[in-house]
C-alpha cells in the first residue's frame, strides 16, 4: 500500500498564524506579498520535535552541544529505515549546516585554484561555497533528455580530463527536483575515481523523495562511490529546522573518513544544540507518520500546480518534481525577460526565487515553493495569471 493510500495530507497553518513567524520567509516582504521563495514550509512541526524542544527550554538546556548528542545513531537508523542505506556510526560527524560541511570538505581536499564541477541550474550557494573553499567553479549544465533532467556525464568526463578535482553534486537536485538514478551515480563515481577526483553530495532533500521514486544515496551507488564520495545532509529541509543549525557529514571508506576526522574541531563545535536535539527527534520512528503525511501534501501540491498552470498560464513549462517542495517553472514563452520573478513580485505581489541566481540556465525561470496550503498556491498562480491576461 502506498503512503498516499494510507495517510492523510498534512495541513498547512493559516496565514494569520504564519505571519507571526519571524523567519526570512515571513519578514522579507510586506504582508500583501505571498512568500513562495525561500525553502521554508508552512506546516506545523512534527510533534516529537516540538516536545523535545519544549523539554529543553523548560530545563534551560541551552548550553554547548556535547560530542555525541545522539545524532550518529539516530541518522544511522533513519538511513536504514527510510533509504535501505547502511551507514557506520563512526563515519558520521556533525557540523552547523550543509553548506558549511561542503565548504570544509572541499577545503580539505582541494588545492587553492582547483576546479569544482557543478551542474546548473543549481542551488545558488553552490557557486559561493566553491569559491569560499578556494576552488573555481566549472559549470557542466544538466541535459534535457526526453523530458527529463540528467547529469551530462560526457561533459563531466571532459572536465575531469581537463583537470577538475571535484564534483559538487545535488542529489536530489535543487531546483529541478530530479532524483539521479543509481546507474548515473555509479558512472559518476567511476569517472571521479579514474581521474583522482572526489564527489561531495548534498542530499538534504532526500527524505522528501516521493513514494515510488527510486532514490539512491551517492555513497550507496557502488563500491567506487564509497571510495570517492562524501555526503552532507540534514533534517533541516524536510522537517523545517533550518534556523536550528545542524547537519551531518557521512563517509563510507577509511580514507574519506580520515579526511573528515581531520577537520578542525571547530567544524563540529558549530553544531547547534537545539538543531541536534530536533534532528534526533526528526529521525526517530515517531516522526515517520508526520513525514509520510507531509509527502502526501507535497504530492497533492505538485500536481495542483501542474493543473493550475495548464489552465491559467499554458505558456508555462513545468515538470513534476520527483522530490522536495520546490518547483522549477520555465516562463520564457511569456516574454518577461531573464528575470520574470522581478515583475511578478512588483506587479502580482508574489515572491518567487529568481531563475538567474541558479546560473545562466535559469534565465526566464522561477522557483516556486510548494510547501504551503493549496489555497495559497492557487492564489499565487491566479495573481500571476492576471499579469498574463493584461
Question: What tens digit of pLDDT does each residue of 32-85 get?
Answer: 999 999 999 999 999 999 999 999 999 999 999 998 899 999 999 999 999 999
**pLDDT value, residue 142:** 98
> Environment class of residue 67 by beta-carbon count within 10 Å: exposed (0-12), middle (13-18) or buried (19+)?
exposed
- Name the DSSP class of 323: B
The 10s digit of each residue's pLDDT in 338-388 is 999 999 999 999 999 999 999 999 999 999 999 999 999 999 999 999 999
Nearest-angstrom CA–CA distance, 322 and 3: 15
pLDDT of residue 6: 57
- Most distant CA pair in the chain, distance: 61
Terminal C-alpha separation, the chain: 46
Alpha-carbon dihedral angle through residues 13, 304, 35, 205, given to the nearest 10 degrees: 80
What is the H or E stretch that residue 144 is in?
A: strand 143-145
pLDDT in tens, 110-122: 999 999 999 999 9
Average pLDDT over residues 4-10: 73
CA atoms within 13 A on the CB side of 371: 25
What mean pLDDT do residues 167-177 have? Answer: 98
Q: How far from chain centre, in Å, is Cα 33?
A: 24
**Summary mean pLDDT of the chain:** 97
CATH, domain 3-45+287-389, list 3.40.50.620, 2.40.50.140, 3.90.1150.10, 3.40.50.10860: 3.90.1150.10
Please say if the pLDDT value at position 174 is more than 80: yes
| Residue-range domain boundaries for the chain | 3-45+287-389, 64-283
CA distance 362 to 356: 5
CA distance 17 to 152: 44
pLDDT mean over 102-107: 98
Peptide bond just before 121 cis, omega within 30 deg = yes
The residues with which 170 forms a beta bridge, in sequence order, are 202
Give the per-residue pLDDT at 3: 44
Query: Which cell numbers hold the place of 255?
Result: 580514507
Q: What is the mean pLDDT of residues 149-154?
A: 98
Strands 115-118 and 136-139: parallel
- Do the Cβ atoms of 345 and 351 come closer than 8 Å? yes
Ranges 5-14, 37-46, 144-153, 354-363: which has the least confidence: 5-14
pLDDT score, position 389: 87
Rounded mean pLDDT of 4-23?
Answer: 89
Is the pTM for the entire model greater than 0.85? yes
251-270: pLDDT as tens digits = 999 999 999 999 999 999 99
What is the Cα Rg of the chain in Å?
Answer: 20
3-state secondary structure of 67: coil
Three cell numbers written together for 381? 498562480
pLDDT at residue 298, rounded to an integer = 98
DSSP for residue 353: E
Please give the torsion angle defined by the CA atoms of residues 20, 21, 26 and 28, in that order, rounded to the nearest 10 degrees.
100
Grade residue 2 by pLDDT with cuts at 50, 70 and 90.
very low
The confidence score (pLDDT) of residue 390 equals: 80
- Range name among 6-10, 211-215, 303-307 with the lowest pLDDT average: 6-10
DSSP annotation of 345 reads I
Identify each DSSP E strand in 2-75 by its residue range: 34-35
At 269, list the grid cell. 563545535
- Residue 136 bridge partners (DSSP): 115
Multiple choice CATH, 64-283, 3.20.20.60, 3.40.640.10, 3.90.180.10, 3.40.50.300: 3.40.640.10
Q: What is the full DSSP assignment across 316-363?
A: -EE---SBSSEEEEE-GGGT--S-HHHHIIIII-EE-EEGGGG-GGGT
Q: Are 323 and 213 in contact (CB under 8 A)?
A: yes
Amino acid at each position: 500500500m502506498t503512503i498516499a493510500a494510507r495517510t492523510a495530507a498534512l495541513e498547512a497553518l493559516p496565514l494569520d498564524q504564519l505571519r507571526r513567524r519571524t523567519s526570512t520567509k515571513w519578514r522579507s516582504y510586506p504582508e500583501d506579498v505571498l512568500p513562495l521563495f525561500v525553502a521554508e514550509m508552512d506546516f506545523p512541526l512534527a510533534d516529537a520535535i516540538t516536545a523535545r524542544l519544549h523539554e529543553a527550554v523548560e530545563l534551560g538546556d541551552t548550553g554547548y552541544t556535547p560530542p555525541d548528542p545522539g545524532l550518529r545513531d539516530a541518522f544511522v537508523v533513519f538511513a536504514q529505515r527510510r533509504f535501505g542505506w547502511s551507514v557506520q556510526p563512526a563515519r558520521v560527524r556533525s557540523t552547523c549546516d550543509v553548506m558549511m560541511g561542503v565548504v570544509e570538505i572541499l577545503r580539505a581536499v582541494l588545492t587553492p585554484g582547483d576546479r569544482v564541477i557543478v551542474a546548473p541550474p543549481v542551488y545558488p550557494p553552490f557557486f559561493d561555497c566553491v569559491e569560499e573553499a578556494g576552488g573555481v567553479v566549472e559549470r557542466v549544465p544538466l541535459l534535457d533528455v526526453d523530458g527529463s533532467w540528467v547529469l551530462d556525464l560526457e561533459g563531466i568526463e571532459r572536465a575531469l580530463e581537463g583537470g577538475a578535482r571535484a564534483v559538487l553534486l545535488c542529489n536530489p537536485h535543487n531546483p529541478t527536483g530530479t532524483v539521479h538514478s543509481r546507474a548515473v551515480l555509479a558512472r559518476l563515481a567511476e569517472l571521479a575515481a579514474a581521474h583522482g577526483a572526489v564527489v561531495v553530495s548534498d542530499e538534504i532533500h532526500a527524505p522528501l523523495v516521493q513514494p515510488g521514486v527510486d532514490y539512491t544515496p551517492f555513497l550507496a551507488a557502488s563500491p567506487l562511490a564509497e571510495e570517492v564520495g562524501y555526503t552532507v545532509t540534514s533534517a533541516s529541509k524536510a522537517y523545517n529546522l533550518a534556523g536550528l543549525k545542524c547537519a551531518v557529514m557521512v563517509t563510507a571508506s577509511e580514507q574519506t573518513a580520515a579526511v573528515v576526522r581531520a577537520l578542525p574541531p571547530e567544524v563540529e563545535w558549530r553544531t547547534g544544540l537545539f538543531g541536534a536535539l530536533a534532528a534526533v527527534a526528526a529521525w526517530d520512528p515517531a516522526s515517520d507518520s508526520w513525514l509520510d503525511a507531509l509527502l502526501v501534501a507535497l504530492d497533492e501540491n505538485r500536481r495542483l500546480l501542474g493543473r493550475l498552470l495548464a489552465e491559467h498560464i499554458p505558456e508555462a513549462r513545468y515538470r513534476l518534481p520527483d522530490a522536495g517542495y520546490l518547483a522549477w517553472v520555465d516562463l520564457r514563452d511569456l516574454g518577461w525577460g531573464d528575470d520574470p520573478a522581478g515583475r511578478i513580485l512588483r506587479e502580482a505581489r508574489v515572491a518567487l526565487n529568481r531563475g538567474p541566481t541558479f546560473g545562466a540556465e535559469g534565465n526566464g525561470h522561477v522557483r516556486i515553493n510548494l510547501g504551503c496550503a493549496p489555497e495559497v498556491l492557487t492564489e499565487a498562480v491566479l495573481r500571476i495569471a492576471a499579469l498574463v491576461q493584461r
